[in-house]
Chain A
Amino acid sequence: MSKITKEELDSMAKQPKKEDKDWIKVGMSSCGIAAGAEEVFKTLTEEVKKRNIKVAIKKCGCAGMCSVEPLVEVNVEGMPQVTYGKVNKDVAIQILDDHIHSHRLVNDHIYDIQAKKPNG
C-alpha cells in the first residue's frame, strides 16, 4: 500500500466528488448481522455474479433504523436511491429482479427514498 501524502489529500479535497457507479449496500453492524444481514449479503453477492449484473455489493455500518434491519440501500442509474428494510433472502432476490432489472420499486419494503433526480 502506498503512503498517503498531503498532496494527495489536497487533490482529493479539490476534486468534485464523483458519483459512484451502481451499488447495493448492506448494513453490517451488530444490529444488521443479528437480523440476518450476512445471509442477505451472501445472497446478493452470489446472485449478482450468477446473473452477471454490473453492480457493486458493499457493506456499511448502522444507518440508525435498527428495528427494521437488515437494511439494504440500492443506487442504480435511472432509479432513485432507495433504502429497503426487513430484507430477507427472498426480498433480496426481488430487489434484483424488480428494482435493478425491471426498474420497479419493491412495494412494502421501502423505508426511505433519497429525493434525487434519476440520472443525477
Chain B
Amino acid sequence: MDRNIVYIKDTGILQPDRTKDVYAAFLNGLRDRGMQDSVMAVRVADIGAYNQGVVIKVLPDTTYYNVKDADINRIVDSIKEGKAVQGLAARKEPKQLRIVLRNCGVVDPDNIDDYLARDGYQALKKVLFDLKTPEKTIDEIKKSGLRGRGGAGYPTWMKWNFAKQMVSDQKYVICNGDEGDPGAYMDRSVLEGDPYSVVEGMMIAGFSVGATMGYFYIRAEYPLAVDRVQNAIDRCYERGLLGKNILGSNFNFGLEIRLGAGAFVCGEETALIASIEGRRGTPHPRPPYPSVKGLWEKPTVINNVETLANVPYIILKGGDVFARVGTATSKGTKVFALTGKIKNSGLVEVPMGTTIREIVFDVGGGIFNNKAIKAIQTGGPSGGVIPKDFLNTPVDYENLQKLGSIMGSGGMIVMDEDDCMVDIARFYQRFCFEESCGKCSPCRIGTAQMLNTLSKIAEGMGELSDLDNLRRISQAMQKAALCGLGQTAPNPVVSTLRYYQDEYEVHIINKKCPSKKCRNLLSYKIIPEKCKRCSVCMMNCEAKAITGNKDDGYVINMDKCVRCGKCFEVCKFKAVSKE
C-alpha cells in the first residue's frame, strides 16, 4: 500500500476557517478521478506555515500556498501525474536544526538501551580509545567553536584547558542545572528528555580536564529532571559506564546529584560552588576562577546543561562539522524557550544567525490573537528587550549584546502591543530584588531603590528626575556589584529606558499608560451610545462601583472602582472604555 499523503490547512487569519470546505472539495476531486484509495487527504492542526491562506502540502516536499478553490483540481491532477504544478508550488526550507535536542522526544529518557541505539556512548568510546588524550579531545572542542550556553558565552575549550593545566590531586566537573530565569526551561527539558547525553558530556569533560568526580546541580523545583538524571546515573553505574575502569580503560569517573534550594543566585558559579559545599549560596569575587580554585578549592569546570549536551555530538561528528553551523563568532545552534504572546510556544532549536523574525514568525507562528508585535525579551533578568525594529537581527552573542540584551540561557519572551514596558521593567526588577542574596550593597540597595522608583512611575507619581535616578543607580550596580547577577540586574530597566523612554514619559507627564496595563493609571467609563443596558457589568462589579438601572443607564464611580477591569471584560457590546 503506497498512498500519497496530502495535508490541508487554512492558515489565513480571516474567519471563518475554510479548512473543512477545501478538504471536502479536495475529497470530491479525488473521488471524481477514482483516486480516493491512492491518496490520503488529512486536515492537520499545524502545517508549519502561517498567514499563507489555504496551504496544501503534498508529501514529501511540495507545498502550495494561498490555494484558490479553482486550483484544487489542478493539484489533484498533478498528484496523478506525479509532479508538482508549475508556478504554484513553493519549496520550504526547514528553519530548525536539532543538535542539542537530537534525542529529546525520541528516546525514552528512562531507558539506557534507547540511548545506546542512538549512538549513545560512541563519543565516550571515541574519546577513550581513538583520541586517547585530553589534548586531542579539547582540540576537537576548540575546532567546534562551542561557547558556553549558560549566558556569558565563554569558549568552552578555554575553560577546560585552564582546568586541565592545573596540577592537583583532585579536580571536579559540575553541570549547572540551576535554571532560574523567568520564562526559560531549556535545561529542564533537556534533563527530562535526554539525561544520558548530558551524563556523557560530563564524562567527556571529566576525561578532558582530569577529573574523577562530577556533580549535577539541579534545582529542587525540577523533581522530574532530578528523577530522570538519578535514574540515568544509576543505570550507568550498573552497566559499568560510570565507576572504575570505564569500558576497560583506566578512566575512572563518578557522578552525583546536588539539589539547588531555589535561589536565583545559586546559578552563579561561585555561589553554586558554595551551595554544593554546604555553605550559604552567596557569590565571592573572581579571580580566582573556579577552573583554578573551585569546589573545595580544587580546579573545577562548570558547564551549563545545554553546553554539555552538545559535547557528545561534537566529538562524534567532529569539531569542524559542528563549526559549519552558525555564524563567524557563534557556532552551532541555540535552544530557545519561546514563550509569551506567541502562537506556538515551545522549545525551538535554530542555527546561530537565524533572525529573530524567523524564530518568531516562521517557527513560532507569529503573535497570539493577531496583535502587533512590540518587543522580544531575551536573557531573563540579565538581558533586555529588543524592539520590533530589530527583528531582522541575526541571533548570536555579539549581535544581542550590541542591542543591549544578551543571549542568556535562552528564554525568549514575545511581547505584543498590550505589554507595558514600565511594567515589564518593574516585573524583572521585583524578581531581582526578591532574589538578591544581599551580600553586596549595590545589588541589595540598588534593586530596592529601582523597584520603588518604577512602582512610583507605574502608579502615576513619577517625576522626570526619576529617569535620571534610574540611570544613575543602574550604572552604579553595573560597576560595583559583586557578581554577574547584580551587575546585570539593571539591564531590563536600562534597555527599556533606551528604547521606550517616551513610554516612561507618558506615564510621568500625562499620567497615562499607553498599553493600558498599569492599573492605577486607568479609568473606566460606560459609553451611553453603545450601552444596551443589560446590567452585566453591574452584576460583575465586586466593588459595587457601578450604579444605575435599565431606564437611566449605568455609570461607574471611579472613587469606588478598584480598576480590576472586570466590566471591560464582560461587556459584549464594547460599551466600557478603558483609558
Chain B residues positioned under 8 Å from A29 (CB to CB)? 188-189, 192-193, 224
B46 x A111 contact (CB < 8 A): yes
Q: How far is the CA of A73 from the CA of B60 in the complex (A)?
A: 18
Chain A residues positioned under 8 Å from B129 (CB to CB)? 6
CB distance from B532 to the nearest CB of A (A): 36
B42 x A107 contact (CB < 8 A): yes
B2 x A60 contact (CB < 8 A): no
Which positions 46-104 of chain B face chain A at CB distance < 8 Å? 46, 59-61, 96, 101, 103-104
Chain A residues positioned under 8 Å from B224 (CB to CB)? 29-30, 33
Which positions 105-150 of chain B face chain A at CB distance < 8 Å? 105-110, 116-117, 119, 121-122, 125, 128-129
Q: How far is the CA of A1 from the CA of B101 in the complex (A)?
A: 28
Given contact pairs A58-B108, A67-B345, A17 touches B117 in the complex (Cβ within 8 A): yes
Q: How far is the CA of A10 from the CA of B344 in the complex (A)?
A: 41
CB distance from B528 to the nearest CB of A (A): 41
B101 x A64 contact (CB < 8 A): yes
The closest CB in chain B to the CB of A73 belongs to B105
Chain A residues positioned under 8 Å from B349 (CB to CB)? 64
CB distance from B321 to the nearest CB of A (A): 17
- Choose among B105, B116, B344 the residue that contacts A12 (Cβ–Cβ < 8 A): B116
B248 at the A interface (CB under 8 A): yes
Chain B residues positioned under 8 Å from A3 (CB to CB)? 239-240
CB distance from A87 to the nearest CB of B (A): 11
B357 at the A interface (CB under 8 A): no
Chain A residues positioned under 8 Å from B101 (CB to CB)? 64
The closest CB in chain B to the CB of A108 belongs to B43
A67 x B344 contact (CB < 8 A): yes
B40 at the A interface (CB under 8 A): yes
B45 x A64 contact (CB < 8 A): no
Q: How far is the CA of A31 from the CA of B347 in the complex (A)?
A: 10
Q: How far is the CA of A68 from the CA of B44 in the complex (A)?
A: 13
- Choose among A1, A33, A62, A104 the residue that contacts B238 (Cβ–Cβ < 8 A): A1
A-B contact count (CB 8 A): 147
B179 at the A interface (CB under 8 A): no
Interface majority SS on A: helix, strand, loop or mixed? Answer: loop
Q: How far is the CA of A61 from the CA of B116 in the complex (A)?
A: 16
B189 x A59 contact (CB < 8 A): no
Chain A residues positioned under 8 Å from B345 (CB to CB)? 66-67
CB distance from A32 to the nearest CB of B (A): 9
A64 x B247 contact (CB < 8 A): no
B344 x A105 contact (CB < 8 A): no
A117 x B2 contact (CB < 8 A): yes
A60 x B106 contact (CB < 8 A): yes
B109 x A61 contact (CB < 8 A): yes
Q: How far is the CA of A12 from the CA of B42 in the complex (A)?
A: 38
B421 at the A interface (CB under 8 A): no
Which positions 341-386 of chain B face chain A at CB distance < 8 Å? 343-349
Given contact pairs A29-B192, A110-B44, A118 touches B106 in the complex (Cβ within 8 A): no
Given contact pairs A58-B108, A61-B107, A6 touches B192 in the complex (Cβ within 8 A): no
CB distance from B41 to the nearest CB of A (A): 9
Chain B residues positioned under 8 Å from A71 (CB to CB)? 105
- Choose among B1, B3, B247 the residue that contacts A5 (Cβ–Cβ < 8 A): B247
Given contact pairs A60-B106, A61-B109, A67 touches B193 in the complex (Cβ within 8 A): no
B5 x A60 contact (CB < 8 A): no
B269 at the A interface (CB under 8 A): no
B215 at the A interface (CB under 8 A): no
CB distance from B356 to the nearest CB of A (A): 18
Which positions 1-47 of chain B face chain A at CB distance < 8 Å? 1-3, 5, 7, 23, 40, 42-46
Given contact pairs A4-B240, A58-B108, A61-B109, A105 touches B42 in the complex (Cβ within 8 A): yes
A53 at the B interface (CB under 8 A): no
Q: How far is the CA of A17 from the CA of B40 in the complex (A)?
A: 29
- Choose among A9, A60, A65, A117 the residue that contacts B109 (Cβ–Cβ < 8 A): A60
Which positions 58-92 of chain A face chain B at CB distance < 8 Å? 58-68, 71, 73, 78, 80, 85-86
B306 at the A interface (CB under 8 A): no
B105 x A63 contact (CB < 8 A): yes
A contact residues vs B (CB 8 Å cutoff): 1-6, 9-10, 12-13, 17, 25, 27, 29-31, 33, 58-68, 71, 73, 78, 80, 85-86, 103-105, 107-113, 115, 117-119
Having A9-B121, A64-B347, A65-B346, one finds 18 other A-B pairs with CB under 8 Å, namely: A5-B240, A6-B129, A13-B119, A30-B189, A30-B222, A30-B224, A60-B104, A60-B107, A61-B194, A63-B106, A64-B96, A65-B344, A67-B346, A73-B105, A105-B5, A105-B42, A107-B23, A119-B2
List 4 tightest A-B contacts by C-beta distance, closest first. A61-B193, A63-B105, A3-B240, A115-B60
Q: List 11 A-B contacts (CB under 8 A).
A: A6-B128, A17-B117, A30-B222, A60-B106, A61-B105, A61-B192, A61-B193, A62-B105, A62-B347, A71-B105, A80-B59
